[in-house]
Amino acid sequence: MTQKHLLLALGTTGGEVGLALKQQMAQRPIKDFYYKICYMDTSDSLRRNGKVAENEFIHLTVNERFMQNAITGVAGKNALLDDLLYPNVPPPPPTGNGAGNIRYSAAAILTVAAVRDAIRRKISNFIDQLAVMGDKRRDISFAILVSAGRRDRQWSRRIVASTRP
98 — pLDDT class (breaks 50, 70, 90): low
* Residue 9 to residue 60: CA distance in whole angstroms: 12
Any bridge partners for residue 41, and if so which? 59
Burial (CB count <10 Å: 0-12, 13-18, 19+), residue 101? buried
Task: Note whether 70 and 155 are within 8 A (CB).
Answer: no
160 — pLDDT class (breaks 50, 70, 90): very low
* Residue 122 to residue 115: CA distance in whole angstroms: 11
Task: Note whether 71 and 104 are within 8 A (CB).
Answer: yes
Does residue 124 or residue 48 have the better pLDDT?
124
pLDDT tens readout for residues 109-123: 666 677 778 888 999
Q: What is the pTM of this model?
A: 0.71
Q: Positive or negative, the Cα torsion across 147, 151, 154, 159?
A: negative
What's the chain's length in residues?
165
159 — pLDDT class (breaks 50, 70, 90): very low
Rg of the chain over all Cα atoms, to the nearest angstrom: 17
Any bridge partners for residue 33, and if so which? 3
Helices (H), the chain: 11-27, 45-48, 64-71, 79-84, 99-109, 113-131, 150-163
Q: What is the mean pLDDT of the chain?
A: 75
